[in-house]
Amino acid sequence: MLKHVAVSPHRTRADSVSLSSSASCCSLGSLDHRHDSVTDLSQRTTTIKVYARCLRPDIEYKTLSVTWGTRAQEVVSTLLGKFRMRHRDPRLFYLSMEVRVRAAGLRTTLVLDDDARPAALQACHPKGYSKFSLQMRPGGLVKIYDSALMSSSQYKCILTSERTTADELLAILLHCYDSTEGVERFSLYEVYPSQEYERKLHPDDLPLLVQRAWPPESDCHFRVRRNPRVPPPPPAASVGTPHAAHLASSLPSLDEPSRALSALSLESDDKRYSPVYKFPSITYCQETKNDYLYI
């Protein structure tokens, strides 16, 4: 209900009006309440049904309990963990969402980004009008000699995607062996035995693309090697320690004459003046009133 209507003095048109009412002001406290409501909403739990026949022919779908803040990539990792597929590359899979429009009788399939929130997207449509499916990206088989990770293993073949980096591939291998060591302890090498060539891959290199660049029928392969441990720097010795005293005794004393390139002397009729050789220093000769710098 309008309480007051007045013509705005800042407008030139006669039909421009401004509405002034104390009831139209929004308090700042309501903004904080809305922020808390959004935070609580992201923690709300719901269920989604994901069709995952691409993993195995006998798998139709899997119902997962997720929050509204769960990302699509987290859903993929959860599915692989549920079916004990540790050797599968999570980057090889993605989620798609099929939305059905009842009035028009149409079906639209959307490819979800890794950061998409499936539960929040499902809430935007009536129940039963959306469907999530696990899809597979193009990839390839990579053979890796991994005896550095497990002495009893010779090699392992992993189906990986084109976007998987060298460090991510090492993380999959460590996960297969339930290893608690970090990825930074190992490196992936490209080895070419017939050419006596090998190269350490950068952590961001893409092994599948590197493998596709190899010549056909070549003996190139990937090998995991452990990085050498860098010894810690020696502790700084204080002045009072025996090690510091030993270092101080090994340094040359300033009182000892240094070795000069040539020995110079000043001679007069009845006196001979021999300068003191110190480096770097300037020696003052009292008899001749001159300064000499000897190197």
- Give domain 141-226's CATH number out of 3.10.20.90, 3.60.15.10, 3.40.720.10, 3.90.550.10: 3.10.20.90
Q: Per-residue pLDDT for 281 more than 50? A: no
Secondary structure of 205-264 in HEC code, one letter for each residue: CCHHHHHHCCCCCCCCEEEEEECCCCCCCCCCCCCCCHHHHHHHHHCCCCCCCCCCCCCC
Return the DSSP state at 34: H
Cβ-based neighbour number of residue 198 at 10 Å:
13
DSSP string for residues in 48-60: EEEE-TTT-TT--
What pLDDT does residue 67 have? 92
CATH of domain 45-136: 3.10.20.90
Q: Identify whether the C-beta of residue 144 lies closer than 8 Å to the C-beta of residue 155.
A: yes
User: Which range among 29-43, 113-127, 149-163, 263-277 shows the weakest confidence by mean pLDDT?
Assistant: 263-277
DSSP β-bridge partners for residue 285:
290
Q: Note the pLDDT tens digit of each residue in 102-135.
A: 776 788 899 999 999 999 999 988 888 899 999 9
Average pLDDT value for residue range 226-252: 61
Q: Per-residue pLDDT for 213 more than 80? A: yes
Handedness of CA 57, 107, 116, 121 (dihedral sign): negative
What pLDDT does residue 227 have? 93
Q: Note the pLDDT tens digit of each residue in 41-87.
A: 667 889 999 999 998 888 899 999 999 999 999 999 999 988 888 78
What pLDDT does residue 232 have? 66
Domain boundaries, the chain: 45-136, 141-226, 258-295
Furthest CA-CA distance within the chain: 125
SS3 154: coil
d(CA 139, CA 113): 18
In degrees and rounded to multiples of 5, residue 42 shows phi and psi of -70, -20
Q: Per-residue pLDDT for 226 more than 60? A: yes
Return the DSSP state at 2: -
Q: Per-residue pLDDT for 144 more than 70? A: yes
What pLDDT does residue 275 have? 45
pLDDT band for position 230 (cuts 50, 70, 90): low
When the pLDDT of each residue in the chain is averaged and rounded to a whole number, the result is: 75
Where does residue 191 rank: exposed (0-12), middle (13-18), buried (19+ CB within 10 A)? middle
Where does residue 11 rank: exposed (0-12), middle (13-18), buried (19+ CB within 10 A)? exposed
Q: For residue 45, what are its two tokens?
A: 């739990």
d(CA 179, CA 33): 45
SS3 147: coil
d(CA 236, CA 246): 14
Choose between 235 and 187: higher pLDDT: 187
Choose between 275 and 57: higher pLDDT: 57
DSSP β-bridge partners for residue 199:
190
d(CA 209, CA 35): 45
Average pLDDT value for residue range 23-41: 50
Return the DSSP state at 291: E
pLDDT band for position 263 (cuts 50, 70, 90): very low
What pLDDT does residue 11 have? 43
Choose between 42 and 216: higher pLDDT: 216
